[in-house]
Amino acid sequence: MSEALANLLNETRQFPPPAELAANANVTADAYDEAAADRLAFWERQAGRLAWAKQWEQVLDWSKPPFAKWFVGGQLNVAYNCLDRHVEAGRGDKVAIHWEGEPGDTRTITYAELHRLTCQAANALTALGVKAGDRVAIYLPMVPEAAVAMLACARIGATHSVVFGGFSADALTNRIQDATAKVVITADGGYRRGKPSALKPTVDEAVANCPSVEHVLVVRRTGEEVAWSAKDHWWHETVETASTEHAAQPFDAEHPLFILYTSGTTARPKGILHTTGGYLTQTSYTTHAVFDLKPETDVYWCTADIGWVTGHSYIVYGPLSNGATQVMYEGTPDTPHKGRFWEIVDKYQVTILYTAPTLIRTMMKWGEDIPAGFDLSSLRLLGSVGEPINPEAWIWYRQHVGGGRLPIVDTWWQTETGAVMISPLPGVTEAKPGSAMTPLPGVVADVVDDQGQSVPNGGGGYLVLREPWPSMLRTIWGDDNRFIETYWSRFGAGASGGGSGADWIYFAGDGAKKDDDGHIWLLGRVDDVMLVSGHNISTTEVESALVSHPSVAEAAVVGATDPTTGQAIVAFAIPRGSADTAGAAGEQLIADLRNHVAKTLGPIAKPRQIMLVPELPKTRSGKIMRRLLRDVAENRSLGDVTTLQDSSVMDLIASGMSGGKSDED
């Protein structure tokens, strides 16, 4: 049998943790041994970091796989864990959120204030008839009310479904209908790219087709004129006038906490269901372990939108359950100038920064002079999530943001996993640029071949999870069959008819390899793997080779049908700001890049064709949508573009393609 996925890229750089961080790390290497010795006892101890109203009777019930129950019989309130217990411990005056609006307005919200606001919102939602188990859709910009709305739902046991504020009325309609939401929480609008961007008209359009919606709560942010109907209530007239007293009632550990739809990079979005006790246990523990968060001294900033799982787990539930002080920013990174992020780091003395490879590569494109213009010396730890981070982008991040000294945690996880699964521990791991390294303590991940057999070191294949984990998805909302089909039917018991005795294996949908030391490298989506002359080549390795050329900031590659090789590699590359790409210089750069890839990875990976483009098609969460580029490369009409960030990008690319240079050997 041929290899499942070729291992072409060889990276030898390695960076040990800074000595001081290692000496004071929240989590040390012992955690791996403890978890290996008794995984369930390990997770039980992490659950003990939270406040429970009723102790669980059983850590894990896995008697009806793939449907898991964690901390069976236990009861807790998520909002109590994120707010009340900090206030009760005397930390009410501690800042929870330093909020920065895009126009430069700011709010400083303490734990006591966040608690009061959440109690008011819980009372207001209750007055509108929302009960435990009801669904509430949240469609807000990045304002503190987004966190308040989520916490208020959690407080009363309502299940929230946050829909990213950039989505269209259709996307919002589908999500409201799928969850049959009773209430929608929105705003008149938010600020994006220097101007107000309306949200309420989109909600009006959606709600007209959503008979389940009884009430719409509207936060006033921009002050722009909005249409008004009998279902609408202003937040400031409803929530901000409600009582600030609210006793949080405990809920079962398996009570539904939220539904969140995946980004839609590969397929129709899936409504992922997360529950209460296991989810909070793992998001809280991983915030403590992976970011080495010290609530007394750190200022943490996750740049994700609250509408994505990263915002749920690492803006709201993880940091707040740990009592962190964090920054929340409303707007875009280039408003009013391309140094806005670095200005914010300096202004709030941010110590921990968690962002996405797409942002790092954009910063590379803009040039290192921009971060160099700001004082970033407060930073002590950097994180990355969302896509594989190309080794060169990792090095750039460490060099130009991290002053050449900071550790980087490359965290692999999914909406489905709820929390980080594979990542360095910053005080323990000698990180390699581009590798997520090892499964966290308590997580059992592996790379397997077509047959579900573990691949040896040096081999490539499919990323799987061999044991259930506390923050795992419980199902796809309303679609148990799709849940089983998508994640549990490729390998293990679910593939072989579910015979007892056989193990259930979770299929993540991502390609991966183990390097010679057994460290894990993510290689992109299984759906995107290219089959060139009988070799399975990952998109990530070819993209990383392109990005390692000094003239390239970002790249996407796809396999296009080819009469001789089956599939041929077609690459789209965004040049760095300084690169000369006009006329003959552009032709020369393309020739250089093809040779550079062949030299780095071997002749098999040499792209047939390279296009220099100004932008790439991305989802609204910033991930490259290769399936659309495949449509372009094969001259097909485009597939589903509803989750595409900016549709004009496709026109730009397609027009370049038709007149494009097919630089055949």
Between 525 and 535, name the residue whose CB sits nearer to ligand ATP.
525
- Residue 365 annotated as binding? no
333 appears as a binding residue in the annotation: no
**Closest to 621 measured CA to CA, from 359, 327, 388:** 359
Interface pick for ligand ATP out of 26, 118, 159, 266 (rule CB under 6 A):
266
- The torsion region of residue 411 among left (phi > 0), alpha (psi -120 to 50) and beta comes to beta
For residue 644, the tally of other CB atoms under 10 A from its CB is: 18
* Residues 374-393 interacting with ligand ATP (rule: CB under 6 A): 385-388
Q: Cβ of residue 653: shortest distance to ligand ATP, in angstroms?
A: 20
Among 77, 286, 325, 411, binds ligand ATP (CB under 6 A): 411
Give residues 424-443 in contact with ligand ATP (rule: CB under 6 A): 436
Give dist(CA 594, CA 610) in Å, integer.
8
> Is 539 among the annotated ligand-binding positions?
no
Integer CA distances (angstroms), 60 to 25, 65, 142, 468, 472, in order = 29, 11, 36, 9, 12
The residues, ordered by sequence, that sit 6+ positions from 263 with a Cβ below 8 Å of its Cβ are: 269, 308, 415, 619, 620, 621, 623, 643
Q: Three-state SS for 244?
A: coil
- Looking at residues 295 to 334 of the shown chain, list those that interact with ligand ATP (rule: CB under 6 A): 309
Q: Which is nearer to Mg ion, 161 or 222 (CB)?
A: 161
Please report, to the nearest 10 degrees, the dihedral formed by the alpha carbons of residues 495, 499, 501, 507 taken in order: 20
- Window contacting ligand ATP (CB under 6 A); options: 61-69, 140-148, 175-183, 257-265: 257-265
Residue 270 labeled ligand binder: no
Query: Binding of ligand ATP at residue 264 (CB under 6 A)?
Result: yes
- Give the binding range for ligand ATP (CB under 6 A) out of 107-115, 409-417, 541-549, 588-596: 409-417
With CB under 5 to 8 Å by kind, the binding choice for 313 among ligand ATP, Mg ion, none is: none
274: region left, alpha or beta (phi > 0 left; psi from -120 to 50 alpha):
beta
Would you say 213 or 436 has its CB closer to ligand ATP? 436
As measured in angstroms, the least distance from the Cβ of 509 to Mg ion is 6
Tell me: is residue 438 an annotated ligand-binding position: no
Q: Does 178 bind ligand ATP (CB under 6 A)?
A: no
What's the rounded Cα separation, in Å, for the pair 68 and 59? 11
What's the closest the beta carbon of residue 262 comes to ligand ATP, in angstroms? 3
525 is a contact residue toward ligand ATP (CB under 6 A): yes
Binding site partner of 160, from Mg ion, ligand ATP, none, Cβ cut-off 5-8 A by kind: none
- Nearest CB to ligand ATP, comparing residues 84 and 554: 554
Residue 547 marked ligand-binding:
yes
460 binds ligand ATP (CB under 6 A): no
Place of tokens 């496709």: 650
> At closest approach, how far in Å is the CB of 526 from ligand ATP?
9
* Amino acid making up residue 347: K
* Per-position x/- string for 491-510, each x denoting binding to ligand ATP as judged by CB under 6 A, each - no binding: -----------------xxx
Beta strands 67-72; 232-234: pairing state: unpaired
When asked if residue 415 is in the footprint of ligand ATP (CB under 6 A), the reply is: yes
Query: Taking CB under 6 A as the criterion, which residues in 599-658 touch ligand ATP?
Result: 621, 623
**Residues whose CB is less than 8 angstroms from the CB of residue 221 and which lie 6 or more positions away in sequence, other chains included:** 141, 143, 187, 188, 189, 190, 191
- C-alpha–C-alpha distance, residues 309 and 297, integer Å: 26
* Widest pairwise Cα distance in the chain: 73
Q: Which is nearer to ligand ATP, 182 or 623 (CB)?
A: 623
Q: Which is nearer to ligand ATP, 262 or 321 (CB)?
A: 262
Nearest alpha carbon to residue 25 among 253, 268, 292, 240? 292
| 387 appears as a binding residue in the annotation | yes
- x/- string (CB under 5 A) for Mg ion, residues 209-248? ----------------------------------------
Q: Residue of minimal CB distance from Mg ion?
A: 262
- Map the footprint of Mg ion across residues 254-293, applying CB under 5 A: 262
As a three-state string, the secondary structure of 254-290 is: CCEEEEEECCCCCCCCCEEEEECHHHHHHHHHHHHHH
**By C-alpha distance, which of 396, 407, 348, 408 is closest to 372?**
396
User: Which letter does DSSP use for residue 484 in this model?
Assistant: I
Q: Annotated binding residue at 460?
A: no
Interacting residue ranges for Mg ion, rule: CB under 5 A: 262
Binding site members for CoA = 192-195, 310, 533
Interacting residue ranges for ligand ATP, rule: CB under 6 A: 262-267, 269, 309, 385-388, 410-415, 436, 508-510, 522, 525, 621, 623
